Chain A
């Protein structure tokens, strides 16, 4: 049996009320909210968070042999983005890591590779999506990431068995974007519907046949695709019971593109009983249909954070002008301060485990934990008696803090905190996803992987603190 051993979804903290768009522009927007990656997040940083959630729920000691990162909004071209995720997860160098990207359908390429393999593989999908101010994409897309650890029973308990599926592929111009554009173009909506729906019928029919299933065997249907009108007609075209189609989170999160089917699937798995058959229909330059069935193991599966918990934890007070600034549509006057500095390659290379995986050092003689790692201990001065100690998952407490109104940030003011980790270790860093007026000494925080800044085309990835989940 092969299938999902663990999964994890990541929703960013902020939501934009679509009414804020309408209020500002007199057009666009609508009802509900959309999920917004913070100014210090991108597809890669969110992918890291989804993978961390996944690995937290994975069987202890299970290491994937491959890592596939799928995104249609890659922070880098030429340079592999998956290696950042690989480094942040502190995976061994023997583990392959590669990007599968460009279009939302690429996630299915990654999943097929993982499912067709016989070794454990981590697949992650992540997008930061928007559109030009006032556009439908701006209002109706969203930002999220999702990851799956795929493997055999021999790797660990499979919580959802992969039953198989089928695809239908066609070339037509529905949605496109040039690499230098920060928005997508779409053809007339009715044309896409015309192109997609026969493909849904074809792929669904083939998938039922392949897996020897009937529509009546299906307990839940996940329908996904950036073409909303075609997705609405897909249940009928697939011949499945529309009442089995699960909520696609579009009213709160928006359509997150590449990870979206996985995100909705995660919401189903969060609440699923054993022996439920789930059908996933993904419309993206063709149609991919797959089936999985939950096993007894799902009863004891503990997601690090459920989709519902993350939906409920969202903050929908984000200003529209902040959203525009974060996405680069509003070029604001910076403070009269030096431009932010890009990290240099050799020091980043030397400090890989520290910078990307937040691995400190622990002095064997005194037990003192050092962040960043040191050679000489602050307690007792022992030299080179350090052992690496991973600190990314250790909770911490605010010792003192300040609000820096002078420092450069896309989202001023910067909140800086000094934090002490449970069990030892101190670090000074930024606090993100937090309200500057409510920070106080004693607050509990956890670490999160972020993109601190971009300078000279170099993204500076590192860790920040964020308020701990209550």
Chain B
């Protein structure tokens, strides 16, 4: 029994996204106010028009009150959502279903994260009392497990692998340099990336996404109502989510060169949207480049490259801003930054700009302006290789 999907039933009519970065002078509440009011303004609505909210944060607050208190929401349903690093996307997905169900006319999905207030390096997890036997690897270490396994399986030597990872980071910094909202807005040379201090395995500091603060929001309504708010809505073509047995770390059949959950959610999303050749049909993809090997593996899991060929496509520039299929034109997690609860909605925000041809000129992708493609993808995952949750959405600027 596959998911039936809600293709073309709901539409995004407004979005807001704060700058991402080290916001020492802005609180969670500040960022929620900024992203939400920007989204209201974009959609031309007032907060009172919103019937219900889905609010995503991994750990910057608990319950719907974190949002309703900040925005002074007037006794409406606010659902707090958490699904690891896919939290923002999960808020969006559930908000869309609420509209599609007919329960509400107009809803908001808002995501936020404040990572920089805890004073730690990298991400830190919630503490759940345990027997102390679970491996306590840091996030870069977990994802770095992909690199040697991939290299070994496909005969890529260590230096070549480093070049591939470096090129992914270089590309995402190149894109982020053209994004005024990004945390890192400078191009970084390949030598600098390659020679940076190692964090985990082959991964240096530039192979890791930015730890940052930020918030993003989307306003959603029924597709038939969309033109009451905007001439250029984005229609939701597919919403797919996959949580598996999380058995990679205990199942010898898992080989650390793929995310089974991504393959499953991508297949579901393509079926919902009617996409048969993603590389040819999709204009752009915002993918979960938490670490550079993740983006490499995702190119194969999402069907953008054949198995074992992703690294060659990376080196050939297929996924560059001016490539055949631009991936992370906004700079991705790498350069835009990764405030967890906001990231999924931030990905959607780039689709919002690119498919409606409102991205800054120096990063507006040609697959839309010249290639005539109308579909954008966001891919968001949480967890680690072999034990993750994966979200894939496809949105489009035209019905049908």
How many A-B Cβ pairs are below 8 Å?
Answer: 130
B135 touches A350 (CB 8 A): no
How many whole Å from B292's CB to the nearest CB in chain A?
A: 14
On whether the beta carbons of B144 and A341 are closer than 8 Å, the reply is: no
Q: Does A157 contact B (CB under 8 A)?
A: no
In the complex, whether A378 has a CB less than 8 A from a CB of chain B is yes
Which residues does chain B contribute within 8 Å of A354, judged by CB atoms?
A: 131, 133
Q: Are B131 and A351 interface neighbours, CB within 8 A?
A: yes
Please pick, from A341, A343, A346, A420, the residue contacting B252 in the complex, using a CB distance under 8 A. Answer: A420
Q: Hey, which chain A residues are within 8 Å of B124, CB to CB?
A: 337-338
**CB within 8 Å of A: which of B329-377?**
none
Interface residue? B120 (CB, 8 A): yes
Query: Does A414 reach chain B (CB closer than 8 Å)?
Result: yes
**Cβ < 8 Å to B, chain A residues 327-356:** 335-338, 340-344, 346-348, 350-351, 354-355
CB distance from A339 to the nearest CB of B (A): 10
Option from B120, B135, B147, B245 in Cβ contact (under 8 Å) with A338: B120
Let me know if A400 and B145 touch, CB within 8 A. Answer: yes
- The answer to whether A337 and B121 touch across the interface, beta carbons within 8 angstroms, is yes
Q: Which A residues are closer than 8 A to B by beta carbons?
A: 335-338, 340-344, 346-348, 350-351, 354-355, 368, 370-372, 374, 378-379, 399-407, 414, 416, 418, 420, 424-430, 441, 452, 460, 462
A418-B138 CB under 8 A given contacts A344-B130, A378-B247, A403-B201: no
Taken together as a complex, chains A and B put the C-alpha atoms of A344 and B255 apart, in Å, by: 32
Main secondary structure of the interface of B (DSSP, over half): loop
Supposing A335-B121, A404-B137, A441-B149 touch, asked if A348 and B131 sit within 8 A by C-beta, the answer is: yes
A-B contact pairs, 22 of them (CB 8 A): A335-B121, A336-B120, A336-B121, A337-B120, A342-B132, A348-B131, A351-B131, A351-B133, A370-B250, A379-B251, A401-B148, A402-B141, A402-B200, A404-B137, A406-B140, A406-B200, A414-B137, A414-B141, A426-B251, A441-B148, A441-B149, A462-B133
Q: A343-B131, A343-B132, A426-B251 are in contact. List 4 more A-B contacts (CB 8 A).
A: A347-B129, A355-B131, A372-B250, A402-B144
Interface residues of B (CB under 8 A from A): 119-122, 124, 127, 129-133, 135-138, 140-142, 144-149, 152, 197-201, 245, 247, 249-252, 254-256
Residue of B nearest to A397 (CB): B252
Checking B120, B131, B140 against A350 with a beta-carbon cut-off of 8 angstroms, the contacting residue is: B131
Q: Tell me the minimal C-beta distance from B37 to chain A in angstroms.
A: 34
Q: Closest A-chain residue to B208, C-beta based? A: A406
Q: Would A430 and B135 count as touching, CB distance under 8 A? A: yes
Q: In the complex, how many angstroms separate the beta carbon of A39 from the nearest chain B beta carbon? A: 15
CB-nearest residue of chain A to B129: A344
Q: What separation, in Å, do the CA atoms of A370 and B245 have in the docked complex?
A: 13
Q: Which residue in B145, B200, B252 is a CB contact (below 8 Å) of A405?
A: B200
Contact: A406 with B132, CB < 8 Å?
Answer: no
Chain A residues within an 8 Å CB radius of B245: 378
Q: How far is the CA of A365 from the CA of B398 in the complex (A)?
A: 51
Closest to B140 in A: A406
**B245 to A: closest C-beta gap in Å:** 6
Cβ contacts under 8 Å, A344 to chain B: 129-132
Partner of A416, one of B133, B141, B250, B252: B141
The answer to whether B132 touches A462 (Cβ under 8 A) is yes
* Bound complex: CA A338 to CA B127 (Å): 10
Which of the listed residues A338, A402, A460 has the most CB atoms from chain B within 10 Å of its own CB? A402
Contact A416 B130 (CB under 8 A): no
CB distance from B94 to the nearest CB of A (A): 27
| Interface pair A355/B132, CB less than 8 Å apart | yes
Q: What are the residues of chain A within 8 A of B144 when measuring CB–CB?
A: 402
CB distance from B148 to the nearest CB of A (A): 5
**In contact, B247 and A372 (Cβ under 8 angstroms):** no
Report the Cα distance A6→B132, complex, angstroms.
33
B252 touches A424 (CB 8 A): yes
Nearest-CB distance from A355 to chain B (Å)? Answer: 5
Q: Which of B122, B130, B138 contacts A343 (CB 8 A)?
A: B130
Measured CB to CB, the closest approach of chain B to A400, in angstroms, equals 4
Contact partner of A406 (CB less than 8 A), chosen from B119, B121, B133, is B121
A424 to B120, CA, bound (A): 38
Q: Report whether A402 and B132 are in contact in the complex, using a CB–CB cutoff of 8 Å.
A: no
CB neighbours (8 Å) of A351 from chain B are: 131, 133
Give A414 to B148 CA distance when docked, in angstroms. Answer: 16
Q: A425 contacts which chain B residues (CB < 8 A)?
A: 250, 252
Report the minimum CB–CB distance from A71 to chain B (whole Å): 22
Cα(A335)–Cα(B124), bound, Å:
13
Cα A406 to Cα B199 in complex, Å, equals 6
- Contact between B135 and A405, CB atoms less than 8 A apart: no
Known A-B contacts A351-B131, A378-B245, A378-B251; A399 and B119 likewise in contact (beta carbons under 8 Å)? no
Q: Which residues of A contact B130 (CB under 8 A)?
A: 341, 343-344, 347
CB neighbours of B252 from chain A (8 A): 399, 420, 424-426
Q: How far is B130's CA from A462's CA once the two chains are assembled, in angstroms? A: 13
A344, B120: Cα distance in complex, Å: 24
Distance from B258 Cβ to chain A, minimum over Cβ atoms (Å): 13
CB contact between A402 and one of B133, B136, B201, B249 (< 8 Å): that residue: B201
Q: Taking the nearest CB of chain A, how far is it from the CB of B161, in angstroms? A: 13
Q: In the complex, which residues of chain B have a beta carbon less than 8 angstroms from the beta carbon of A404?
A: 137-138, 140-141, 200-201
Give complex CA distance A374, B247 in Å: 11
Q: Which residues of B contact A424 (CB under 8 A)?
A: 252
Option from B119, B133, B149, B198 in Cβ contact (under 8 Å) with A403 = B198
CB distance from A392 to the nearest CB of B (A): 13
For A400, what are the chain B residues with a Cβ–Cβ distance below 8 Å?
A: 145-146, 148-149, 152, 256
Chain B minimum-CB-distance residue to A421: B252
